[in-house]
Chains A and B, each alone.
Chain A
């Protein structure tokens, strides 16, 4: 398991890419849902 998260020594680059990607997509969805509520669609 810890071997998986180590990514052969590339953990920072692999997880740094995936974390930022999914965080940004999450923020977009959150902001859009907020806008959706405010416009009552």
Chain B
């Protein structure tokens, strides 16, 4: 066994992970407001007015990063669920509990800002049956489901395992959200940014979006690390 792999198992113990989580939280808590200020500055003062949507498009700087976070946090949560079920490591299950509330929050923010963007551009806050909107709503219910399942089972080990199984089953929803705009006709526009082609927007708009995405990343990591420390303290 290499020293690297020993290190990973070393941090699988709550007692050794605790100080590391604290250091990560402190660094990210400093970076989050810096990226937020930079992102808002670029988003509101540098990025130009959109030719078609006017100023309404500026919702993009929170809508898209929040939607990315909602999916990414779910993937990370499902990853720890799989690790927890396979290795039976306590910190993995604590990570699910630490991530779920923040994931649900960003999912709600993506839905809320989407509604506030939809009203001026599509003429409606919400469309029942639209696949992009429905799958994102299902994501919110999956987060609630994982948290409710954990809270409703008294035996903590069984609660953790039940929550982890639901988190893993729900992962199937993530690619459906991501590709819904391609697979079905929806009011929602296609991806402005993808892995395969250059972004179809002004460079400054793209920069503002990426800065806000980094801000949300730092925020999420900081909050999750503080919450996992609380979990460790409350469950010695």
B59 with A14: CB separation less than 8 A: yes
B113 with A41: CB separation less than 8 A: no
| Contact count A vs B, C-beta below 8 Å | 71
**In whole angstroms, how far apart are the Cα atoms of A7 and B55 in the complex?**
6
Which residue of A is nearest B113, CB measured? A17
Minimum CB–CB distance from B118 to chain A (whole Å) comes to 9
**In whole angstroms, how far apart are the Cα atoms of A33 and B59 in the complex?**
28
**In whole angstroms, how far apart are the Cα atoms of A14 and B175 in the complex?**
29
Count of A interface residues, CB-CB < 8 Å: 22
Q: Of residues 1 to 41 in A, which have CB atoms within 8 Å of B's CB atoms?
A: 4, 7-10, 13-14, 16-18, 20-21, 24-25, 28-29, 32, 35-36, 39-41
Binds A, one of B2-10, B104-112, B131-139, B199-207: B104-112
Main secondary structure on chain A at its contact with chain B?
A: helix
Q: Known contacts A7-B58, A25-B105, A39-B233; is A13 also within 8 Å of B117 by CB?
A: yes
The verdict on B102 contacting chain A, using a C-beta distance below 8 Å, is: yes
Chain A residues contacting B56 (CB-CB under 8 Å) are 7-8, 10, 13-14
Give the size category of B's interface with A: 20 to 34
Chain A residues contacting B145 (CB-CB under 8 Å) are none
A21 with B109: CB separation less than 8 A: yes
Partner of B55, one of A14, A29, A40: A14
A8 with B229: CB separation less than 8 A: no
Chain B residues contacting A9 (CB-CB under 8 Å) are 54-55
**In whole angstroms, how far apart are the Cα atoms of A13 and B58 in the complex?**
10
Q: Of residues 181 to 236 in B, which have CB atoms within 8 Å of A's CB atoms?
A: 219, 223, 226-227, 229-230, 232-234
Chain B residues contacting A35 (CB-CB under 8 Å) are 227, 230
Minimum CB–CB distance from A8 to chain B (whole Å) comes to 4
A13 with B116: CB separation less than 8 A: yes
Partner of A36, one of B59, B101, B230: B230
A8 with B234: CB separation less than 8 A: no
**In whole angstroms, how far apart are the Cα atoms of A41 and B102 in the complex?**
20
Minimum CB–CB distance from B220 to chain A (whole Å) comes to 10
**In whole angstroms, how far apart are the Cα atoms of A21 and B216 in the complex?**
11
B230 with A39: CB separation less than 8 A: yes
Which residue of A is nearest B32, CB measured? A25
B112 with A20: CB separation less than 8 A: yes
Chain B residues contacting A4 (CB-CB under 8 Å) are 44
Supplied contacts A8-B49, A10-B54, A14-B116, 17 more A-B pairs, CB within 8 Å: A4-B44, A7-B55, A8-B54, A8-B55, A8-B56, A9-B54, A10-B55, A13-B120, A14-B56, A14-B58, A17-B62, A21-B62, A21-B112, A28-B223, A32-B230, A40-B233, A41-B232
